Structure 1
Amino acid sequence: MDELSSRLLARLQDAFSMEEMAQTAVNGLINIATALAVFMAFYVIWRLLRVALNVASARSGVDETTVSFMQTLLKYGVLAVGFISALDTAGVQTGAVIASLGIAGLTIGFAAKDALSNLISGILIFIDRPFVIGDLVEVDGQYGRVDRITLRSTRIITRDGKMLAVPNTEVINQTVASYTNFPNLRIDIAVTVGVEESLGRVRELLLGILKDKPEYMSEPAPRVVVTALNDYNLALELQAWIINEREHVELRFALRESVFETLRAAGVEMPLETLQLVAPNTEEPVLRAS
């Protein structure tokens, strides 16, 4: 028993000796420094590959969406290999670590199912291409320009300068309206005129606004249609196709203003449908709505 205690004490003294602890600390620092150096080397490799990819894509004319997707895959692929190589250099048994990750993969998958869903949705967005970087889109009532498509979210810059990070799963599961996926776009301006007005005259006035305007297409030709016959007015709609779909917001504002100014200058009545309620035994209105 005394001999066993002596051997145990000797082992403890060897393990906790200053020389042994100093050597262990030095070896640990060397391993950490080596691992960091290896990882930084892979990081530099990724930066060089990114520059090479940008140069190659610029020469080949690859679109920005494909370049962004390839950069993302390249980044995570190279850095993942660098991380595993750094652990291996530091003396960590990467095989055992990978096996442990495989066993824990099911648990991690349940815990991070939303992140995995966004990742898969990001890949589907790239494959399906409902829009690309630079497109003007509307997702869930939010309108803006697609700035970036990552594996987690789609970044949209709104007209007032806000950046919206929309999860890719929401983009996949919702209706996305693109204003720039097709060559041309039609803008519609609604207006009401009095029931006594001549539709022919009003139509001539409205179509005259677009005459000799290079922003609008002559084919398909603009037109004025009647959308509703109300009790006190006629609802019309001026429909015009524009050449540059990216200008649709500014052109819609300008055209709406031109419609109002033109009809007012021509003396065309533009009434609103009005409802007035009068209290019993009095002529004073209690509610008026348009």
Structure 2
Amino acid sequence: MNIFNVPQYPFLEFLLYTVIVLIVSTVLVRILAFIINKLAKKFNIELTLNYLFKDLAKYVIYIFAFVIILGMAGVDINALIVSLGVVGVTLGFAAKDIISSFVSGIFLLADKTVKVGEVIEVEDIKGEVKKLGFRTTTLVTSDNLIVTVPNTVLSQNPYTNYTYFDKHRIDLEVILPLNVDIADFEKSLVKRISDLPWILENSNPQINVIEMNEEGSKLKISACSDEYSKIETCRLDLANEVRKLIGEM
């Protein structure tokens, strides 16, 4: 079946109208993106949904633009749909990864286990989620590198979400000299670090003995904070308080 009819427009007119359609489509995409951003702020819609709505609007507009251009080129759209139905299985196999990523993106949105702004790690890649799209998820690592992860990777592999909860534990292992009493050290340290500004309210710092050897007592100190982005700074702060207390005892 020949799906190409006689073009409805001369080439130059077709080229002009094609450029106009593309410009209008691009403008519409930007206008809708602006409207979606405004609505997201007004109704406090999370960034994940914001990005997905904008992606959906963009795909719909560009698909309609493509259909319009085909019509102007003289393509019989009905015949094209029939032809695509015949080769649909072949195209499905060729695009199975794209389709799989698209479906995975929908499930990720529905599960709400990954959101924009959270810090996740998958297959030894750790970073903050900057964008969750229908096909891919964009991460920014601590080295300020942008990593694009197919959504199928997140759906098929275990991943760690470091910021899903508001409570984050900070662990620090130290060697306490043998001449320092562990009970006195624990009592003094708990009182001392409980006053630190980043310590989560209603959380009690804990000190556990891991082992004892000729060097001293190996302790694991645990405290909680609600600021994941400052965990390393908090750990340094905790280590400094431990150092000063050991020097005073």
* TM-score with structure 1 setting the length: 0.75
Separation in structure 2 between the aligned mates of residue 115 and residue 59 of structure 1, nearest angstrom: 33
Higher mean C-alpha deviation, range 62-71 or range 143-152: 143-152
Separation in structure 2 between the aligned mates of residue 169 and residue 65 of structure 1, nearest angstrom: 17
Residues 1:153 and 1:27: Cα distance change in structure 2 (over 3 Å): same
Separation in structure 1 between the aligned mates of residue 142 and residue 35 of structure 2, nearest angstrom: 34
After superposition, residues 133-152 of structure 1 pair within 5 angstroms as 133-152=116-135
Asked if 1:93 corresponds to 2:76, the answer is: yes
Residues 1:123 and 1:66: Cα distance change in structure 2 (over 3 Å): same
- How far the C-alpha of 1:197 sits from its partner, in A, is 4.2
Residues 1:209 and 1:126: Cα distance change in structure 2 (over 3 Å): same
Separation in structure 2 between the aligned mates of residue 242 and residue 106 of structure 1, nearest angstrom: 53
Q: Please, which of 210, 216, 239 is the counterpart of residue 227 of structure 1?
A: 210
Residues 1:107 and 1:233: Cα distance change in structure 2 (over 3 Å): farther
Q: Which has the higher contact order (CA 8 A, sep 6+)?
A: 2
Asked if 1:158 corresponds to 2:141, the answer is: yes
Match of 1:58 in 2: 41
Q: Which runs of 5+ in 2 are unaligned?
A: 1-6
Structure label with greater radius of gyration: 1
Percentage identity across paired residues of the two chains: 26
Residues 1:237 and 1:39: Cα distance change in structure 2 (over 3 Å): same
Q: Which runs of 5+ in 1 are unaligned?
A: 1-23, 268-290
2:194–2:205: 8 Å Cα contact kept in structure 1? no
Q: Please, which of 186, 190, 194 is the counterpart of residue 207 of structure 1?
A: 190
Q: Please state whether the residue corresponding to 1:75 is helix, strand or coil.
A: helix
After superposition, residues 241-256 of structure 1 pair within 5 angstroms as 241-256=224-239
- How far the C-alpha of 1:230 sits from its partner, in A, is 5.2
Separation in structure 1 between the aligned mates of residue 194 and residue 114 of structure 2, nearest angstrom: 33
2:48–2:115: 8 Å Cα contact kept in structure 1? yes
Separation in structure 1 between the aligned mates of residue 75 and residue 83 of structure 2, nearest angstrom: 13
Q: Please state whether the residue corresponding to 1:130 is helix, strand or coil.
A: coil
Q: Please state whether the residue corresponding to 1:83 is helix, strand or coil.
A: helix
The letter for the 1-side match of 2:40 is: S
Match of 1:112 in 2: 95
Residues 1:99 and 1:223: Cα distance change in structure 2 (over 3 Å): same
Separation in structure 2 between the aligned mates of residue 260 and residue 166 of structure 1, nearest angstrom: 42
Q: Deviations over 1:92-116 (max 9, x none)?
A: 1122222222222211222222222
Separation in structure 1 between the aligned mates of residue 145 and residue 216 of structure 2, nearest angstrom: 40
* TM-score with structure 2 setting the length: 0.86
Q: Please, which of 219, 222, 238 is the counterpart of residue 239 of structure 1?
A: 222
The letter for the 1-side match of 2:237 is: A
Match of 1:12 in 2: none
Higher mean C-alpha deviation, range 163-172 or range 29-38: 29-38
Q: Deviations over 1:261-286 (max 9, x none)?
A: 543x246xxxxxxxxxxxxxxxxxxx
- How far the C-alpha of 1:170 sits from its partner, in A, is 1.4
1:149–1:155: 8 Å Cα contact kept in structure 2? yes
1:209–1:259: 8 Å Cα contact kept in structure 2? no
Separation in structure 2 between the aligned mates of residue 159 and residue 70 of structure 1, nearest angstrom: 28
1:119–1:151: 8 Å Cα contact kept in structure 2? yes
Q: Please state whether the residue corresponding to 2:55 is helix, strand or coil.
A: helix
Separation in structure 2 between the aligned mates of residue 194 and residue 100 of structure 1, nearest angstrom: 80
How many residues align structurally? 242
Q: Please state whether the residue corresponding to 2:10 is helix, strand or coil.
A: helix
Separation in structure 2 between the aligned mates of residue 52 and residue 73 of structure 1, nearest angstrom: 14
Runs of 4+ in structure 1 over 6 Å off: none
1:39–1:85: 8 Å Cα contact kept in structure 2? no
The letter for the 1-side match of 2:238 is: L
Higher mean C-alpha deviation, range 74-83 or range 180-189: 180-189
Separation in structure 2 between the aligned mates of residue 130 and residue 119 of structure 1, nearest angstrom: 17
The letter for the 1-side match of 2:195 is: D
The letter for the 2-side match of 1:173 is: Q
